[in-house]
Amino acid sequence: MKIVILTGAGISKESGIPTFRDGNGLWDNHNVDEVATSQAFINNPKKVLSFFQDRLNQMQSCEPNIAHHTIKKFEKKFDNVIIITQNIDNLHEQAKSKNVIHMHGNIFENKCLNCGHVQSINDEKHCIFCHSVDFRPNVVLFDEMPHHLEEILMHLSECDLFLSIGTSDAVYPAANFAQHVKSNGVKTVCFNLEKTPNNPYFDKFIQGKVSETLPIFLRNLEVKNDKIFL
Ligand code: NAD
Ligand code: ZN
């Protein structure tokens, strides 16, 4: 049985990282067009780099919460678990999750502006391939293509259970995943504080803080003869 878990900013909120949209979110204090698009990076790279440096500084001191640790427990209980995250933090990795796909990039990585090589922010201060010192954070800006889409579509086409955790379903293409898998007969569950626009595509909506709802869900989840009992 294959489980695909899609996570969004809501899972990291209880670790102290603000989400984008819910009350007092990041976009209440910043203009997307000025700090998180490729045009902004051309117009004013310093401003964009400074915005992401602030995000990095904030994320560097954060630790995974019960929800991230519970996802690790899914990986122990079931053989085939894939985590697709829209988050650019490293809290799944800190919780020791293995199969993590960062579809919007990872702020703990830099991308060389000369050759495109991606390396950890803790590596050398120059690109280990072309020696350039010009980097940008390896994050997907609002008008850029998400990473790993082909691999993600393959996992979605193979999954038996799809869990959507702490995402507002406002950012595409991730917002399409629930409808896509539902049309293939996959069981789908949404964990959020409130219903999202994708609610019609979920078999079950579990309302509440994900650090509280996810451990209960995992305890009760049963699979017998390849049949899933939610
Ligand atoms: P979003 O801010 O649009 O939505 C967050 C969702 O999480 C909301 O629907 C909210 O109701 C829910 N939520 C908040 N706290 C919750 C909790 N404790 N338990 C359950 N649900 C909770 O975030 P999104 O859908 O991920 O999409 C926006 C984009 O934000 C993504 O592309 C992502 O790259 C980026 N982002 C990432 C981070 C991060 O890396 N941690 C932080 C902010 C934004
Ligand atoms: Zn390079």
Q: What is the pLDDT of residue 67?
A: 98
Which ligand number lies closest to the CA of residue 87?
Answer: 1
For position 28, what pLDDT does the model report? 65
Q: Which tens digit of pLDDT belongs to each residue from 19-59?
A: 877 666 666 677 888 899 999 999 999 999 999 999 999 99
> What is the enclosing helix (H) or strand (E) of 83?
strand 80-85
Whole-model pTM?
A: 0.95
In tens, the pLDDT along 166-197 reads 999 999 999 999 999 999 999 999 999 999 99
Q: Which amino acid appears at position 117 of this protein?
A: H
Q: Tell me the pLDDT tens digit for each residue of 68-115.
A: 999 999 999 999 999 999 999 999 999 999 999 999 999 999 999 999
Residue 64's nearest CA partner among 216, 210, 170 is 210
Closest approach atom of ligand 1 to CA 169: 25
Ligand sitting nearest the alpha carbon of 21 = 1
Length of the chain: 230
Task: Tell me which residues have their CB closer than 6 angstroms to ligand 1.
Answer: 8-10, 12-14, 17, 19-22, 25-26, 86-89, 104, 166-168, 170-171, 191-194, 196, 209-210
Atom number, ligand 1, closest to the C-alpha of residue 15: 41
What gap in Å lies between CA 62 and CA 41, rounded to an integer? 27
First to last CA, the chain: 14
The pLDDT value given to residue 91: 98
By C-alpha distance, which of 229, 176, 227 is closest to 1?
A: 227
Question: Is 104 one of the annotated active-site residues of the chain?
Answer: yes
What's the confidence (pLDDT) of residue 182? 97
> Which candidate in 102, 104, 117, 126 is catalytic?
104
- pLDDT tens-digit readout, 114-157: 999 999 999 999 999 999 999 999 999 999 999 999 999 999 99
How many beta carbons lie within 10 A of that of residue 197, not counting itself? Answer: 11
Which pLDDT does position 56 carry in this prediction?
95
Which residues, other chains included, contact 52 with Cβ-Cβ below 8 Å and sequence gap of 6+? 107, 137, 139
Vertex 41: Cα angle to 35 and 47 (nearest 5) = 50
Residue of 5, 6, 15, 20 with the most ligand 1 atoms within 8 Å of its CB, for mutation: 20
Q: pLDDT tens for residues 61-70?
A: 999 999 999 9
Mutate to test the pocket of ligand 1, among 11, 19, 89 (most ligand atoms within 8 A of CB): 19
Ligand 1 atom with the smallest distance to the CA of 87 is 40
pLDDT at position 32: 85
Could you tell me the distance, in angstroms and rounded to a whole number, from the CA of residue 108 to the centre of ligand 2?
Answer: 17
Distance CA 221, CA 227 (A): 11
User: What percent of the chain has pLDDT above 70?
Assistant: 97
What φ, ψ does residue 64 adopt, rounded to 5°? -60, 150
With a cut of 90, say whether residue 225 has pLDDT above it: no
pLDDT for the residue numbered 178 = 98
Q: What is the rounded distance in angstroms from the CA atom of residue 113 to the CA atom of residue 9?
A: 27
